[in-house]
Amino acid sequence: MRGLTPGFRTRRRGDGDRLPPGQFVTEDFPVLSAGPTPVIATDGWTFTLTTEAGAQRSWTWPQLMALPQEDFTTDLHCVTRWTKFGTQWRGVSLDVLLEGVVTDARYAWVESYGGYTTNLPLADLQAGKAWIAHTYDGSPLAAEHGGPVRLLVPHLYLWKSAKWVSGIQLRVNDQQGFWESLGYHDYGDPWSEQRTWGD
């Protein structure tokens, strides 16, 4: 994975409590990716949840679509300092996928088609904080934004919301993902400006 793909317009405005420190507001939805954009057909797509004991649950595309769906609106905050307000999504809450899972894990290791990985505390995927999102602004999620599905964890910087997500491993011990191993902060709280290891 190589090459960051920036290029977008931003502007600063007074948005009070919604704008984390150090951020600018954009009306665009910038595309930033580490490497080429994979194109994944929904008829071959699967998502697998694996516990620390090796137990697995998998969903095909029709099975994911048959689960309870949520429509939600949220702000997005990128570590590259842009914020987009009021984005509209549809997807499946991680609470639905984790329901009934027996685990002592405290961490999640997220994997994507194309090889991208990121790590999060398991608690940040629970209690209505995270979704597997397949629809943006009323349309199927475009590949450039992570379609057919991406993880969405909007209370953290957007690199934690892995595009093209293919699975999540639950782990007792934490392990750094792609950007975290290259110097990005392990947690990534926008309100604390946790951008890099030293923050």
Residues 60-115 have pLDDT tens digits of 999 999 999 999 999 999 999 999 999 999 999 999 999 999 999 999 999 999 89
**What is the model's pLDDT at position 16?**
60
Name every residue whose Cβ is closer than 8 Å to that of residue 51 and which is 6 or more positions away in sequence: 101, 102, 103, 105, 170
Q: What angle do CA 42, 115, 38 make, to 5 degrees?
A: 40
Helix (H) / strand (E) element for 73: namely strand 70-77
Confidence of residue 14 (pLDDT cuts 50, 70, 90): very low
pLDDT over threshold 90, residue 43: yes
d(CA 16, CA 22): 13
**What is the model's pLDDT at position 1?**
35
Taken in order of first residue, the domains within the chain and their CATH numbers are 20-28+45-192 (3.90.420.10)
167 in Cβ contact with 111 (< 8 Å): yes
pLDDT tens-place string over residues 144-190: 999 999 999 999 999 999 999 999 999 999 999 999 999 999 999 99
d(CA 78, CA 84): 9
Confidence of residue 122 (pLDDT cuts 50, 70, 90): very high
**What is the model's pLDDT at position 17?**
86
Name every residue whose Cβ is closer than 8 Å to that of residue 69 and which is 6 or more positions away in sequence: 90, 91, 92
pLDDT over threshold 50, residue 58: yes
pLDDT over threshold 80, residue 35: no
d(CA 193, CA 159): 14
